[in-house]
Amino acid sequence: MMKRNMACIVRPEANNKVSRYKDHGRAPMPHHPSFIPGIGRRSFLKGVAATGIAAAMPISARIWAQQGQTLRVSAYADIDELDPGFYQNGYNVDVMNCIYTKLIRYKPGREWDWELEAAETIEQVDDTHIHFRLKPGLMFTGGYGEITAEDVKFSFERVLLHDSPVKSDWGPLDHVEVTGRYEGTIVLKKPFVPLWTIALPYGTGHIVSQKAVLEAGDGGDFGMNPPCFSGPYILEQWKPNQSIYLVRNPDWNGEAPGFDNIRILPMDDTKTAERAYEAGDLDFTRITLSSLAQFRDNRPANTVIEEYPSLYYVWLGMNIDNPALSDINLRRAIQYAINVDQIIDAAYFGEAKPANGLIAPGLPGHREKPTVPIDGNLDKAREFLAAGGGPPREPLTIDALNATVWKTMAEVIQAQLMQIGIQTRINVQDSGSFWTIGMESEGDRWKKMQLVLNRFSMLPDPYYATSWFTSDQVGIWNWERFSNPEFDRLQQQALSETDPDKRAAMYRRMQDLMEASGAYKFITHEGTPVMYRKGLEPALRPDGQPLYPEFSGTL
Amino acid sequence: MNETSATSPTAPDADDRLLSEPSLLTRSLRLVGGNRSGAIGFVLVALIVFAAIFAPWLAPYDPTAIMTGPRMAPPSPEHWLGTDNLGRDLLSRVIAGGRVAMLVAAAALGAALTGGLSLGLIAGLGPRWLDNTLLLIFDALRSFPTIVFGLAVVTIIGPSLFTVILVVAITSIPIYARIVRTQTLALKNVEFILAERAMGAGIARILFVHVLPNVLGPLLILASMDVPLVIATEAGLSFLGMGVRPPTPSWGVILNDGYNFIRNSPWPVISGSIPIILVTLGFTFMGEALRDIFDPRLRRTH
């Protein structure tokens, strides 16, 4: 998930905060007190340690399953970054989950929660201190020895030390204090709510070997050349744009994975993955919403279909700094001319729901309704247009990815804007080209960009959604070039706000500000239908994202 | 091929018959009439060109208008080929797509023919170093697969109808240029040309009176047979989302959209495929018939 479909995106420069995601998304998550920090904080703090201990899995608890069997799955893009401290995009993290270990991981299921992985215990001592103890006996490959607290310290601190583009995941991390071979304390400068939802169980939470990384370089980004592995699988073979082949790590002493091997086939277009599944080349795949009804009615043999909600957010963005869109009246007119219901009906065959903002239902900060009606208001659109001096003389451009769903959305928007006399031209582009349109580091294309259909993926904390629209993200991932001091201030305050109600109100206000700028028309959070062979027991996050090491069953 | 033996220069009364031989047009019509596939080809091409020219009047609906009917509907009296995922009339889109295809074919092949002819003549008649340089460029251009080259160009200048025409023209020029060059090299030292030169004929006269008429025939035949290739390239680029801009109808776009919704309805794929098949058959049959008309030697070998 995270970042989008962009196999060949050029990473932002090192000092660019950010990025991960777009494309693939899923799921409103049911509220879970232990996962949405700040809710019942005192009881949460008390309970974490106990929960952690209780959840601790005995090493090798799972019997070695599926000897010799290969799990075949698809990914929506090919891997392009395997350093967890500098991760980009969810498809890379899906592989990292297999080849590195981390203190805690997302717990598969329909509700957001976490469980222990490399940690034997983990406890939030107070708002700024988290004490952990590693399971002894977990080994790095390549003779780099046992995983120790020093490796944990190194793995987390290097993210800040080397100015990782995803250092914001670690927020106000101050340092990690090593108190024993297996024990240590994560020390924060101030409370950081997303620690449990993003920092620890996701990309930057993975542990790498200090010795191996320093031998390979200066401790910075090792890109696609991992010096060693620490997870249940190792990367055996990577054929760019063809396949990723993972095999069981013989040195792994943790919980045994469900399959001996995993073959991941990068497929940009989910429709292609659907056909590959039907042809028997895949055991598990995401399916498109437009195909869902067909698959429900005509289910492939020996197949289970499940639907998960999605955290993704899809929106039409408008470049405020483009001269043609500099008048807020025109932007507001566009907002009001767009009927989201029609878009969803056409592009998703009615299988998705309209979005009220960036933040999906179930997450703190989700808005019950947008300030601009979902189905628009043509009269109001015409009023704004008249106030702005009428339609632009030249057609506006709509940039979109070249997959059918985006083209369809763009064509519907084109027709809707024509109703108020705004002409548009659609630029469809492949993912490599599309995902750099708004980046200043990639040339001047951002200046010409006007309307853009975009989708970012999400992690289960609202901060993850809003972090891409702050002023310091302008020209990086903030392609609308929206800049608002109140928004920036709230973004910082909400990170440390432990009162859930106050925090949710902050995020709702931030989305109001975005909408009031006229630069955003929120469309949908999509959904995540998946299908897989009977006998397979997929391990999925509540938003339908796969956790491959925990897949089990018989194929 | 009864005409083959009748026009054989080895016939004893050849001289007499040459005097009374019918015109090229008459012979062409006879040849076409006697060649069933050629006739089919001409008819198909005529229909396609007619539909392309009169598309705005023939299409029952605006090809870009959405929700003219239910989405993914099968053929019905209202929508003869059904509708696509946005409820657009497929027949109208197919007809309008034909116009795009013909436009690309005409513009791209026109540009390629002009460029190929000019460069081929320059290479054939020019100095050796220039010939070698041009050959090197031709070979370099030919070494790129058309679609790959197209993707690269689209990435740089963006997808549009012009881009498709540009890609096809650039990748086709070397083919025509090489043929013209070869023909020119063969012709420039034949006796009647040498005689013309000896009599003081200028390069322009040799070029326009002798060389051009000799190379134009084969070139046009080749161009005719390349039309399906060009249309397939356009459809291929559009299929990949690198061709014409949406919502401009193109057979490749119709195919692509249909491919993605094939589980919902097969009609878009069928509607997008049939015209490509018909164009391929039509222009190939027509090209072969033209070859028979313009190249009696080949006709004899039949």
Burial class (CB within 10 angstroms; exposed 0-12, middle 13-18, buried 19+) of B172: buried
Nearest CA in chain A to B160: A427
Question: Is residue A34 a contact partner of residue A228, using CB atoms and an 8 Å limit?
Answer: no
| Predicted local confidence at residue A212, as pLDDT | 97
Q: Please state, in angstroms and as integers, the Cα–Cα distance from residue A97 to each residue in A11, A91, A233, A548, following that order.
A: 21, 10, 9, 8
DSSP per position, B228-276: HHHHHHHHHHHHTT-SSPTTS--HHHHHHHHHHTTTT-SHHHHHHHHHH
| Predicted local confidence at residue A34, as pLDDT | 38
Dig out the tokens for A395 from the structure.
Answer: 């057609």
Amino acid letter, A223? G
Instruction: Average the pLDDT over each of A520-534, B36-50, B57-71, B143-157 and give the range with the smallest value.
Output: B143-157
Residues of chain A with C-beta less than 8 angstroms from the C-beta of B257: 404, 407
Closest-CA distance, A409 to chain B, in angstroms, reads 10
Nearest to A433 among B66, B155, B246 (CB): B155
Closest-CA distance, B69 to chain A, in angstroms, reads 13
The per-residue pLDDT for range A32-85, each reduced to its tens digit, is 333 443 333 433 443 444 344 434 433 334 444 445 689 999 998 899 999 999
Residues of chain B with C-beta less than 8 angstroms from the C-beta of A428: 159, 241, 245-246
Contact residues for A521 (Cβ-Cβ < 8 A; gap 6+): A315, A316, A334, A335, A338, A340, A372
Count of Cβ atoms closer than 10 Å to residue B58 Cβ: 16
d(CA A16, CA A215): 26
B241 has a chain A CB within 8 A of its CB = yes
Q: What is the mean pLDDT of residues A425-437?
A: 85
Closest-CA distance, A1 to chain B, in angstroms, reads 22
SS3 A99: helix
Residues of chain A with C-beta less than 8 angstroms from the C-beta of B71: 346
CB pair distance less than 8 Å for A433 and B263? no
CB pair distance less than 8 Å for B260 and A290? yes
B173 has a chain A CB within 8 A of its CB = no
| Predicted local confidence at residue A484, as pLDDT | 97
Instruction: Average the pLDDT over each of A57-61, B231-235, B283-287, B290-294 and give the range with the smallest value.
Output: A57-61
| Predicted local confidence at residue A208, as pLDDT | 97
Nearest to B246 among A295, A411, A430 (CB): A411
The per-residue pLDDT for range B256-283, each reduced to its tens digit, is 888 878 878 899 999 999 999 999 999 9
- Tokens 């059918």 locate to A404
Closest-CA distance, A411 to chain B, in angstroms, reads 6
CB pair distance less than 8 Å for B260 and A430? no
Question: Is residue A534 a contact partner of residue A356, using CB atoms and an 8 Å limit?
Answer: no
| Predicted local confidence at residue A64, as pLDDT | 45
| Predicted local confidence at residue B296, as pLDDT | 59
Q: What is the mean pLDDT of residues A327-352?
A: 95
List the single best residue of A351, A411, A418 to mutate versus B (max B Cβ within 10 A): A411
Q: How many CB pairs under 8 A join A and B?
A: 59
Which of these, B180, B163, B184, lies nearest to B219 by C-alpha position?
B180
SS3 A278: helix
SS3 A177: strand
CB pair distance less than 8 Å for B241 and A298? no
H-type alpha helices, A358-499: 378-387, 404-418, 431-434, 445-448, 462-466, 485-496
Question: Is residue A316 a contact partner of residue A453, using CB atoms and an 8 Å limit?
Answer: yes
| Predicted local confidence at residue B158, as pLDDT | 75
Residue A18 has pLDDT above 70, yes or no: no
Closest-CA distance, B264 to chain A, in angstroms, reads 7
CB pair distance less than 8 Å for A430 and B71? no
For chain B, percent of residues with pLDDT exceeding 90: 34
The per-residue pLDDT for range A275-319, each reduced to its tens digit, is 999 999 999 999 999 889 889 988 999 999 999 999 999 999 999
| Predicted local confidence at residue B159, as pLDDT | 76
Contact residues for A109 (Cβ-Cβ < 8 A; gap 6+): A540, A542
Amino acid letter, A75? A
- For A537, the enclosing helix (H) or strand (E) is strand A536-537
Question: Is residue B234 a contact partner of residue B100, using CB atoms and an 8 Å limit?
Answer: yes
Q: What is the mean pLDDT of residues B192-216?
A: 82
Nearest CA in chain B to A273: B260
Find out whether the peptide bond into A226 is cis, omega within 30 degrees of 0.
Answer: no
**pLDDT band for position A204 (50/70/90)?**
very high
List the single best residue of A291, A416, A428, A431 to mutate versus B (max B Cβ within 10 A): A428
DSSP per position, A30-49: ---TTTSTTTTHHHHHHHHH
B245 has a chain A CB within 8 A of its CB = yes
Residue B155 has pLDDT above 70, yes or no: yes
Q: Dihedral angle at the C-alpha atoms of A508, A514, A518, A523, nearest 10 degrees? A: -70
Residues of chain A with C-beta less than 8 angstroms from the C-beta of B242: 402, 430
CB pair distance less than 8 Å for B86 and A411? yes
Domain boundaries, chain B: 27-300
**pLDDT band for position A160 (50/70/90)?**
very high
3-state helix, strand, coil in chain B (%, to 5): 75, 0, 25
CB pair distance less than 8 Å for B246 and A428? yes
d(CA A87, CA A80): 9
A355-358 — which CB contacts under 8 Å span 24+ positions? A355/A313, A355/A314, A355/A315, A355/A522, A355/A523, A355/A524, A355/A525, A356/A522, A357/A313, A357/A508, A357/A511, A357/A514, A357/A515, A357/A522, A358/A313, A358/A315, A358/A462, A358/A465, A358/A466, A358/A469, A358/A511, A358/A514, A358/A522
Which of these, A22, A544, A532, A346, lies nearest to B261 by C-alpha position?
A346
Burial class (CB within 10 angstroms; exposed 0-12, middle 13-18, buried 19+) of B90: buried
| Predicted local confidence at residue B69, as pLDDT | 85
d(CA B215, CA A328): 62
Interface of A with B (CB under 8 A): 271, 290-291, 294-295, 298, 346, 402-404, 407-408, 410-412, 414-415, 425-430, 432-433
CB pair distance less than 8 Å for B261 and A410? no
Question: Is residue A342 a contact partner of residue A416, using CB atoms and an 8 Å limit?
Answer: yes
Nearest CA in chain B to A433: B155
B66 has a chain A CB within 8 A of its CB = yes
Q: What is the mean pLDDT of residues A163-169?
A: 88
SS3 A464: helix
Dig out the tokens for A222 from the structure.
Answer: 């090792």
| Predicted local confidence at residue B27, as pLDDT | 67
Q: When comparing pLDDT for A410 and B231, which is higher?
A: A410
Q: Strand pairing partners for B200?
A: none
- Tokens 């290969």 locate to A70
User: How do strand A424-429 and strand A396-401 relate by DSSP bridges?
Assistant: parallel
Count of Cβ atoms closer than 10 Å to residue A61 Cβ: 10
d(CA A273, CA A265): 9
Average predicted confidence (pLDDT) for chain A: 87
**pLDDT band for position A488 (50/70/90)?**
very high
| Positive/negative CA dihedral, A128, A133, A138, A143 | positive
B86 has a chain A CB within 8 A of its CB = yes
Closest-CA distance, B162 to chain A, in angstroms, reads 14
CB pair distance less than 8 Å for B259 and A412? no
Q: Dihedral angle at the C-alpha atoms of A394, A398, A399, A400, nearest 10 degrees? A: -160
| Predicted local confidence at residue B33, as pLDDT | 66
Q: Dihedral angle at the C-alpha atoms of A241, A243, A249, A253, nearest 10 degrees? A: 80
CB pair distance less than 8 Å for B158 and A403? no
Reply yes or no on domain B27-300 having CATH 1.10.3720.10: yes
